[in-house]
Structure 1
């Protein structure tokens, strides 16, 4: 059952009777109030709890409505079924709040948990480690101010973790990633410069996964460049902005020969020289992987201590650049004319150079 009409609620004095329903999509319907009120008048909530109407659902989508309140009752209804077949739960883009209940961990068949853009608080519950089939966890744009449990590291089928724009706290170690063999995307991106989450991962640790996307902003990862990236040969998007990293980018990173679409290492304390060409690479070897990234669209090196000339090869080898930020470094000399050939460029920031 799928609908995009504006019903506001589904109050009724009778049970729907659709006990064999496996797919329910009520997204973008302007549903208001608590979730169970959207299904039935408050008088009938207990009846809904006992009627098994939701127990055969594999997909429940209630995103982009105006739902509020907590989700504990809904999760209790779903997890209280004799057998819960739910694989997709999408409650994103509402105004739901409160803590994520431990009963989430009883939705054993869940593959996709999308709760982004709400007002949830607290920690990610440790019971999430019971969701052995989980592939996508989207919790971004909430107000979660707790910790990331070590139990998350048990989810061997997890492909994507999106926890951006939450004031999460505590320390993240390799334990939170220990068995994430399928992980391809990890994003914890905060626009605010305030750092509340610390990554303390052993430099000897070798991850069991190959990331394609790593986006971390306003977290403490330094002072050294994260050594656990040295085997991440599939990366296309790398954001390590405002991560407390100093010194230089190690040579092994460039030898990964990445085909990057995005490289953002701005607002750190990185130093070194970006050479103009192979003949002038006396301080650093020319980052050949970066030169070969002809499809790169974002390059942000701003807010560091890079020196030397702005390299002309940026204009010659990166024709698809949309964003180029080199501001607040120690570059000197003239702006190379080759930058004028970047016809797709939307943002050029060379301020305070």
Structure 2
């Protein structure tokens, strides 16, 4: 780092995004020979500056702005920071700082207006709850710092705050009533205290908001009645993943138009009838009420939500049929009514009216009737899940018209991409490879830090059809092979007949295919071997016959993927007839063969010689009497001669002196 002491009169130094790679202390030392540090603004953000905030930072007594965000600072913050009495803005966000921030750092910063330390997860904010700061902040961002376990009550002294973010800060405490009764609310624009363990109730106080704030209190332990004041003149309200249990009807029936555009009350303990007051919320763009115990029917006033892009009512106990007025929700992009008790027919003009639908998940209800052909005209549709219903009839042959599914993953719906770009907090729950997963906007933070509560699966790249566990019959339409962008196709547990589409191999992006528990017949098409991306395949319990095609990974699936088809054979099932390997003839080296032949001839000769010799003599003696008498006379004479010779020899031996 070149010395800057010849620029002692320099008041503002802005080197943002210049690929600096120096230790921060070395940069500060470059001004060491300047008798007076005249700098009022030092902006080094979006570089590779590293090290700690050193002691000599206190020499820059005129400094008003210190911006070091998105660097690689990895040390502590010196208490000399407290000497910067003129400091108005301090932004150290997106670094790796550690250590403890105390009142010593802040007590003399009388003019401080903006403080941002997110997301330095190793910084401990050790400030007494009763401390009275000398400053009045406009922005306070301590997200992901270690602020808790106690609620930072010193915030209540701030009168001009417009942005407060103390989310994911380890707070395990109640919110004091004095916080809600403080004077900070008229100017507030953003309040985020989510991802803590804040418990207790929120009093229903009278607060006037002037700036349509965003209020996020999700992922805590708040309980009791949903506070009605939080929907007055508020643009965004997240109370999801808490323990609120009542107050839905007064909250949703204000008898006055509200400006709410984003409302999330999901994953609570609300057990009430869904009220018919939606005409007061005609500005809503996202509505999340899933994972509660709501009951009753979908009210007709839902039709007033003509700007609604995402409707999420899954995992409740809603009943009745889809209201006819829902066709007025022409802005719908994501419709999720899964896991309820809805009945009746799907309106035949459903696809003609709601032309912007990209995600439709109606699974696990009690819908009956046929699948409307109007679905074929949903050109932006990427996910259709009607599984676990009582839908009958045939699969519409016009499915090939689903333009978005007919494109590859690189040509995903521009409508969905735009929608998620404008509404990054919306998402969709999808059955993906037999597990329910959340898909939303794909993004990553500059430090790669993602909340454990946020899925990072890109919804824009997912395309699929799930019509499983219904009463569908007839053939699988050939046009389904034109939907080459499909990632999953599940037609299992129906009454489908005929063969598997011969050109199914054109679905080269397919990762999940389940055709099990139908009455499909014929052979498995050889083109299936062209799908190299398949990770789950199930064609079990049909009437398929013939040999399983050999190629790619079809043999890598276990036998459970194919069982229940008595006429099916080939790996990984048993071998097909005619597949037995021919007998193998051993061909030796000539010498071994010659030796084996010789030994065999020798054994045969010995046996034959014995038989011929034995019966040649004995047989003759038995059959011819004269020869037999002569033989025995010869035998007796020979015996007598031998006896006489041995007796004479013994006598002579005794007579010898």
TM-score higher than 0.5 here?
yes
Could you say which residue in structure 2 is the equivalent of 1:350? 562
In 1, the alpha carbon distance for the partners of 2:201 and 2:558 equals: 46
Could you say which residue in structure 2 is the equivalent of 1:102? 276
Q: Is the 8 A contact 1:246 1:268 kept in 2?
A: yes
CA change 1:11–1:216 in 2 (3 A) is closer
In 2, the alpha carbon distance for the partners of 1:326 and 1:249 equals: 14
Q: Is the 8 A contact 1:148 1:176 kept in 2?
A: no
Query: Helix, strand or coil: the match of 1:128?
Result: helix
In 1, the alpha carbon distance for the partners of 2:203 and 2:393 equals: 60
Query: Helix, strand or coil: the match of 1:189?
Result: coil
In 2, the alpha carbon distance for the partners of 1:120 and 1:347 equals: 43
Q: Does 1:141 align with 2:355?
A: no
Q: Post-superposition shift, 1:246?
A: 0.9
Counterpart among 499, 506, 516 of residue 302 in structure 1: 516
Query: Helix, strand or coil: the match of 1:338?
Result: coil
In 2, the alpha carbon distance for the partners of 1:331 and 1:140 equals: 37
Counterpart among 346, 349, 355 of residue 172 in structure 1: 346
CA change 1:220–1:110 in 2 (3 A) is same
Could you say which residue in structure 1 is the equivalent of 2:192? 2
Counterpart among 115, 121, 132 of residue 289 in structure 2: 115
TM-score for the superposition, normalised by structure 2: 0.45
Trace 1:1-353 onto structure 2 (pairs within 5 A).
1-3=191-193, 4-12=195-203, 15=206, 18-36=209-227, 54-77=231-254, 80-81=255-256, 83-190=257-364, 196-200=366-370, 203=373, 207=377, 209-227=379-397, 229-235=399-405, 236-254=463-481, 256-274=482-500, 286-287=502-503, 290-314=504-528, 316-338=529-551, 340=553, 349-353=561-565
CA change 1:350–1:66 in 2 (3 A) is farther
CA change 1:134–1:249 in 2 (3 A) is same
Query: Helix, strand or coil: the match of 1:102?
Result: coil
More off after superposition, 105-114 vs 200-209: 200-209
In 1, the alpha carbon distance for the partners of 2:241 and 2:325 equals: 30
CA RMSD of aligned residues (A): 2.8
Q: Is the 8 A contact 2:379 2:404 kept in 1?
A: no
In 2, the alpha carbon distance for the partners of 1:309 and 1:336 equals: 9
Q: Post-superposition shift, 1:125?
A: 1.0
What is the CA deviation profile of residues 134-188 of structure 1, one whole-angstrom value per residue up to 9, with x for unaligned ones?
Answer: 0011111111122110111111111111111111112222244442121111111
Query: Helix, strand or coil: the match of 2:263?
Result: strand
Query: Helix, strand or coil: the match of 2:279?
Result: helix
Q: Is the 8 A contact 1:179 1:208 kept in 2?
A: no
Q: Is the 8 A contact 1:151 1:176 kept in 2?
A: no
Deviating 4+ runs (over 3 angstroms): 10-21, 175-178, 199-210, 227-230, 309-314, 333-343, 345-348
Q: Post-superposition shift, 1:319?
A: 2.6
Q: Post-superposition shift, 1:13?
A: 8.7
CA change 1:143–1:336 in 2 (3 A) is same
Query: Helix, strand or coil: the match of 1:246?
Result: strand
In 1, the alpha carbon distance for the partners of 2:311 and 2:492 equals: 27
Q: Post-superposition shift, 1:218?
A: 2.2
In 2, the alpha carbon distance for the partners of 1:26 and 1:205 equals: 38
Q: Post-superposition shift, 1:226?
A: 2.7
Q: Is the 8 A contact 1:263 1:298 kept in 2?
A: yes
Q: Is the 8 A contact 1:59 1:86 kept in 2?
A: yes
Query: Helix, strand or coil: the match of 2:342?
Result: coil
In 2, the alpha carbon distance for the partners of 1:312 and 1:76 equals: 60
Q: Is the 8 A contact 1:325 1:347 kept in 2?
A: no
Q: Is the 8 A contact 2:513 2:538 kept in 1?
A: yes
Could you say which residue in structure 1 is the equivalent of 2:151? none
What is the CA deviation profile of residues 81-129 of structure 1, one whole-angstrom value per residue up to 9, with x for unaligned ones?
Answer: 4x42111111111121222111123201001011111111111111010
CA change 1:145–1:228 in 2 (3 A) is farther
Q: Is the 8 A contact 1:154 1:178 kept in 2?
A: no
What is the CA deviation profile of residues 249-285 of structure 1, one whole-angstrom value per residue up to 9, with x for unaligned ones?
Answer: 223333x3432101001111111123xxxxxxxxx6x
More off after superposition, 333-342 vs 230-239: 333-342
CA change 1:223–1:201 in 2 (3 A) is closer
Q: Is the 8 A contact 1:169 1:198 kept in 2?
A: yes
Q: Is the 8 A contact 2:369 2:393 kept in 1?
A: no
